[in-house]
Amino acid sequence: MTRIGYIIGSLAAGSINRQVGQAIASLAPEGVEFVELNYSELPQYSYDLDADYPVAAREWKQAIEDVDGVVILTPEYLRSIPGALKNAIDFASRPWGTNSFNGKPVAIAGASVGAIGTAAAQQHLRAILGHLNAPTLGQPEVFLKFSPDDFGANGEVNNPATLALLEGFVAATVAHVELHTHESVNA
């Protein structure tokens, strides 16, 4: 079984990115399981915490290390990623020398109410993941301008074009994760 964690870059109860994440999880092929990785209990990061890392941060790092790959669904806040998501990635990257994203295959997607569908935020996220040495899926890019009619309450996707895009994204993500999983097994 290939386990892929998905991270919602929003703390909002009604997050549209969670709806997209649930839709992606529902498209998992046989032998693949998507699990949400939750970081809502994290405090604000400071390197003062490095010497005695909070339990929530240890559990967060372990959750990332325990999955074969990660999908990050990012909203776009002020043309970048939300502060809460950046805080969670900061925690995962530290204490120095224990970067939980090192070598971890990642795919990114995002939905916003704006016309560019998180394209600007995703470029920032790619730069962060590159610095963390996380191999990041290049294509397909998923920049969704969110329309409530496109998604049902239980993760179903009603818009055929959106469904095809997400199916292609899931297939490419699984191939990306399995490629890197096998690389690390053979290393």
CB of 12 to ligand FMN, least distance (A): 4
- Report the nearest approach of ligand FMN to the CB of residue 43 (Å): 20
Task: Please give the residue whose beta carbon sits closest to ligand FMN in the complex.
Answer: 114
Q: How far is the CB of 29 from ligand FMN (least distance, A)?
A: 25
Backbone dihedral angles phi then psi of residue 10, each to the nearest 5 degrees: -140, 140
Residue 11 or 179: the one with the smaller Cβ distance to ligand FMN is 11
Question: What's the min distance (Å) between Cβ of 88 and ligand FMN?
Answer: 14
Structure tokens at 144: 């969704």
**Which is nearer to ligand FMN, 9 or 69 (by Cβ)?**
9
Alpha-helix residue ranges (DSSP H) falling in the chain: 16-26, 55-66, 83-93, 119-131, 160-186
Which CB sits closer to ligand FMN, 78 or 161? 78
Q: What are the residues binding ligand FMN (CB under 6 A)?
A: 10, 12, 15-17, 75-79, 112-114
Please give the Cα distance from 93 to 85 (Å, whole number).
Answer: 12
Comparing CB distances to ligand FMN, the nearer of 113 and 164 is 113
Instruction: Retrieve residue 42's tokens.
Output: 């994290």
Distances (CA, A) of 160 to 15, 33, 102, 140, 150: 22, 23, 36, 16, 9
